[in-house]
Amino acid sequence: MATISPLILRTSPLCLWTPHSNKPLSSLPFFTIPKSKALSILCSTKMEGSEITEDVAENSGANEIVKKKIFVAGATGSTGKRIVEQLLAKGFQVKAGVRDLDKAKNSLSHDNPALQIVKADVTEGSEKLSEAIGDDSEAVICATGFRPGWDLFAPWKVDNFGTVNLVEACRKLGVNRFILISSILVNGAAMGQILNPAYIFLNVFGLTLIAKLQAEQYIRKSGINYTIIRPGGLRNEPPAGNIFMEPEDTLYEGTISRDQVAEVAVEALLHPEASYKVVEIVSRADAPKRSYEDLFRSIKQR
């Protein structure tokens, strides 16, 4: 009986189509085929409507497609913890950067083999952060936030210099995907919202919003592929409406569940439409249910 030699793809891109999407996995960020072993496949092409797809059958023993490792700064925070949980739920490997390892062991699922907990304090400089992030992380999500107290420089140490340290660590390591959880009204003065009670209140603690805005501007000039997410007032309760997404410097009121903020951060990794964009989000009961692809695509780059 004649044998069929497996076809090894060398120069042409591999298109693997998801069962619930019209996008090839190879076009989505953070989906790769391991380079350590050759992937032998048999491909047959067929036409479905106006779309060409490929049926792929892997030889036994070939590696499966794997999702990359994501570093989360501020992983034990109220929002950061939810980001870690949602990343793990979607099958990502996660490196959780925390200041307090003991606290992390009590609040994170440290027995999950896909989760690695490492000590990382964004205020200690980019060199130590580079060691924490490591050369195995493919993206960084920054969900840090200062703790209110008597130190009026805390917002600048964490929300400004800390974020800058993370960006510099990414540049040293060649990590080219950065997602920041910021806040609406960071540019309130330019929006004519300088007398907005929320803008005044949030800046009472060491000019927090101004510190965040300075960090945003640094990210945008860094050359790194970024998504800056500006949520409204954060709620710990479950979602009570659909996500309403607008361009930067648009929203000046509204709230949103931390669960939804975490979801937007994770989805930004999966959708190229989120690249190099600043998005503002709140939750509204009357907002229509929209796909994340549609939401991110509706926001134009500036």
Per-residue pLDDT of 40-63, as tens digits, reads 323 333 333 333 333 333 333 334
Whether residue 258 sits in one domain with residue 164: yes
When comparing pLDDT for 130 and 3, which is higher? 130
284-288 average pLDDT score: 97
Which residues neighbour 130 within 8 Å (Cβ) at sequence distance 6 or greater?
A: 169, 172, 173
Residue 6's pLDDT is 45
Whether residue 105 sits in one domain with residue 198: yes
What is the Cα–Cα distance from 114 to 295, expressed in whole angstroms? Answer: 29
pLDDT (tens digit, 9 = 90+) per residue, 243-252? 999 999 999 9
228-254 average pLDDT score: 97
Whether 290 is in a domain gets the answer: yes
Per-residue pLDDT for 22 more than 70?
no
What CATH number is attached to the domain comprising 234?
A: 3.40.50.720
pLDDT (tens digit, 9 = 90+) per residue, 126-147? 999 999 999 999 999 999 987 7
Whether 270 is in a domain gets the answer: yes
Max intra-chain CA distance, the chain? 82
> Three-state DSSP class for 206?
coil
Residue 149's pLDDT is 64
CB–CB of 220/277 below 8 Å?
no
Whether residue 229 sits in one domain with residue 192: yes
Whole domain around residue 48: which residue ranges? Answer: 7-58
Whether 153 is in a domain gets the answer: yes
Residue 147's pLDDT is 73
168: exposed, middle or buried (C-beta count within 10 Å: 0-12, 13-18, 19+)?
Answer: middle
Whether 2 is in a domain gets the answer: no
Whether 123 is in a domain gets the answer: yes
Whether 128 is in a domain gets the answer: yes
Per-residue pLDDT for 9 more than 60?
no
Whether residue 148 sits in one domain with residue 210: yes
Residue 50's pLDDT is 31
